[in-house]
């Protein structure tokens, strides 16, 4: 019974952490919004910057960075899966030879399994 109570306490503690973080962020944002002056970019330079080619270039670089990170992750996962698949194919081949009726095939299979 004590273990169940401890488990419920741990689950409750982990479940309230995100809610507490959201509440803390909301409170800090509310306080900063009341203390700091409004941040308005109404200067013609900034308006032209964020609505023109410079901002498009920045967003293109960000999008390319995200695509590159996704491609690297995908390649890593594919390489890991290919290595695992190759290992299991070799293990299957070795075990099939080790269980063969022919003595030479059995010797080759056992030699490939054992170091």
Token code pair at residue 65? 């960075």
Angle between helices 44-51 and 53-98 (to 10 degrees): 30
Spatial separation of the C-alpha atoms in residues 78 and 27, rounded to whole Å: 44
Tell me, what's the pLDDT at 81? 96
Spatial separation of the C-alpha atoms in residues 93 and 84, rounded to whole Å: 14
* pLDDT one-digit tens code per residue, 18-71: 777 788 889 988 998 889 888 777 788 888 888 899 999 999 999 999 999 999
């Amino acid at each position: 019974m004590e273990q169940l109570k401890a488990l419920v306490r741990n689950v409750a503690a982990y479940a309230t952490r995100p809610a507490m973080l959201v509440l803390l962020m909301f409170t800090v944002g509310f306080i900063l919004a009341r203390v700091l002056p409004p941040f308005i970019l109404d200067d013609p330079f900034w308006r032209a910057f964020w609505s023109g080619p410079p901002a498009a270039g920045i967003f293109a670089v960000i999008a390319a960075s995200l695509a590159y990170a996704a491609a690297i992750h995908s390649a890593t996962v594919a390489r890991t899966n290919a290595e695992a698949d190759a290992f299991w194919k070799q293990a299957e081949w070795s075990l099939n030879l080790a269980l063969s009726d022919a003595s030479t095939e059995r010797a080759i299979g056992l030699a490939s399994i054992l170091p």
